Amino acid sequence: MLLGASGAGLIAGLPGLAFAQTSPVRSGAIVASMDLQPKSLDPIMGDAPTSDRYALIQMFEGLLKFDVQGNLQPSLATSWEWSEDKKSVVFKLRDGVVFHDGEPFNAEAVVFNIGRVVAPGSTAPRSPDLADIAGAEALAPMTVKVNLKQPSGAALASLAVEAGMMCSPAALKKLGQDFGRQPVGTGPYKFAEWVGGSHIRFVRNERYWRDGADGKKLPYADAVTLRIIPTTAVKMVEVKSGGVHLVDGVTPRDFEEVEKNEALKLVAVPPGIAQWLTFNVSKGIFANPALRAAVNHGIDRNVLMKGITRGFGAVTPTWVPPTDWSYDASVPSPKLDPAKVQAFLKEGGQPNGFTCKLSIIQRDPDTQVAQIVQAQLKQFRINMEIEILERQAWVPKVLGLQHELAMGRVNVPRADPDHVFGPFFGRAASQNWSGIKDEEVFKLVDQGREETDQAKRKVIYKELQTALNKNDYYSWLFFREARHVARKELQNIVLDSGGAWQLAEAWLAKA
């Protein structure tokens, strides 16, 4: 996975993802940190996939799950079988599972959950992830059939992430929109409290169905607290002092300090992070494609990448990383070219340059990235002002298309390419940050999701990425590696393929 000098180290570190084993300890409260506060703890209402999952997978499970290598594994379903025409899947469900409120998990619960995600007119951010699913029907109390609109290369993967997480139907009916603040799932921990801007706390689910290595019911810890800490420097102070046991996604500049600290450990993370800029193409200055192209050809991505990642990264044509099967290095992409900048400025009616505003989220390393881009564009008299916002202010502003230029990032690769292209560029995209209305792009997203042959899908995704770059809808900056940091007393950390931690099997070793 690693693209820098230490590549072999992370690949070798992935299978275990745990420290030296000791006997499991059944007690204690694990404290971890995440840099983004979720919008909602209803799995289908969140708008930050992977980041939201740090909290969600403590409480919720799907029919399937991904292991750290990205392979589908049984979870609330014990087996599944495709129909001959590939338009339905029959799942056998796990007996003896109950929701946190005591309600039974069964086929009717699955039908209810899938039904609310695919309901016509749903505006849930994660509903597009199940775009190929028509619905579900109970064949027996513990057997359910999921029907597809057409064969789909993304359907099973979608059932293993947020859109497929099972919530208590009784709680959903009782709580309505308040479910996102009082979530009820089947997972190892139950929701206890959420103090806005501070933390989310979970306690042991005494009726959880899984057993640990000692033959007793999981989870090992009594409780888990997730603290909201957006600043890397603060995370590092807290993990060094023991205020937290596990922190998410530190930047490469912190790797060396962690490796020198005997109390800490770098935790290998399967995906990395793609940084990007998104233009508002619906109105304003960047409705002019020539001015988008001017910005795109005024950025030296190699200098930017090296400055931020310290060699632990890569410049890629879009946000598809080199490790993903859909990656294609031949996708045409803009490069630094001063002559083209001047030509595009002239073509766009701004030969003497222009001023624009970049809206970013208050977190590391986004501020540093923005400042470097600002300096690079200034030499072409493109004067970029930087507006720093809390994420909960940034999201409605950008989704409401009230921005000119915005910076975001995404954890990639995901379980399926459709999980990143669909929500951003699909016909019903819930995160259409640019305001794109492009039928060519929409059709390619549909085709990529519906095709089941991987070789054919790769061709489609190349065409899709080419179309996005041809129109300069985004400015893809670079891909960087991510690592978590843990204190060494925290044992047996298990990650999914998206890098989110599932803490049912983790414990705090006694001194």
Does residue 339 belong to any structural domain of this protein?
yes
Does 285 share its domain with 419?
yes
278 & 147 share domain: no
316 lies in the same domain as 430: yes
For residues 422 and 428, give the distance between their C-alpha atoms in angstroms, rounded to a whole number. 8
Same domain for 151 and 281, yes or no, is no
Q: What is the pLDDT of residue 378?
A: 98
In whole angstroms, how far apart are CA 302 and each of 14, 52, 410, 479, 492?
28, 30, 19, 11, 37
pLDDT, residue 253, reads 85
Residue ranges of E strands in 54-212: 64-66, 72-74, 77-82, 88-93, 133-140, 143-148, 189-195, 199-204
Q: What is the DSSP letter of 127?
A: G
Map tokens 């230029």 to a residue: 405
**Boundary (domain end) residue, out of 156, 177, 198:** 177
Report the DSSP beta bridge partners of residue 276. Answer: 408, 476
> What is the pLDDT, as a whole number, of residue 69?
75
- Give a yes or no: residue 263 inside a domain: no
How far, CA to CA in Å, does 200 sit from each of 73, 183, 327?
Answer: 28, 12, 36
In a domain, 466, yes or no: yes
State how many domains the chain has. Answer: 2
Instruction: State pLDDT tens for residues 14-26.
Output: 433 444 457 899 9
Rounded Cα distance, 258 and 187, in Å: 31
- List pLDDT tens digits, range 247-285: 997 888 889 899 999 999 999 887 889 999 999 999 999
CATH of the domain at 172: 3.90.76.10
Helix%, strand%, coil% for the chain, nearest 5: 30, 25, 45
Average pLDDT over residues 45-68: 90
**Which residues, 6 or more positions from 369, have their beta carbon under 8 angstroms from its beta carbon?**
275, 304, 308, 407, 477
Q: What is the CATH number of the domain that holds 423?
A: 3.10.105.10
Q: Which of these three, 117, 146, 177, is where a domain ends?
A: 177
- pLDDT above 90 covers a percentage of the chain that reads 77
* Domain assignment present for 236: no
Residue 205 located in a structural domain: no
Q: Which pLDDT belongs to residue 351?
A: 98
In a domain, residue 4? The reply is: no
Does residue 101 carry a pLDDT above 80? yes
Residue with tokens 């971890």: 32
pLDDT, tens digit (0-9, with 9 covering 90-100), for 169-182: 999 999 999 999 99
Show the domain range for 82: 61-177
| Structure-token pair, residue 371 | 């400042």
pTM, two decimal places = 0.77
Distance CA(343)–CA(204), nearest Å, equals 62
Average pLDDT, stretch 497-505?
90
In this structure, the answer to whether residues 277 and 173 fall within a common structural domain is no
Asked if the model's pLDDT at residue 3 lies above 60, the reply is: no
For residue 363, tell me if it sits in a domain: yes
Give domain status of residue 255, yes or no: no
What's the pLDDT band for 377 if we cut at 50, 70, 90? very high
Nearest CA among 26, 58, 18, 22 for reference residue 492? 18
Half-sphere exposure of 63 (CA within 13 A, CB side): 29
Q: Does residue 478 sit in helix, strand or coil?
A: strand
**Percent of the chain at pLDDT exceeding 70:** 95
355-373 pLDDT per residue, tens = 999 999 998 899 999 999 9
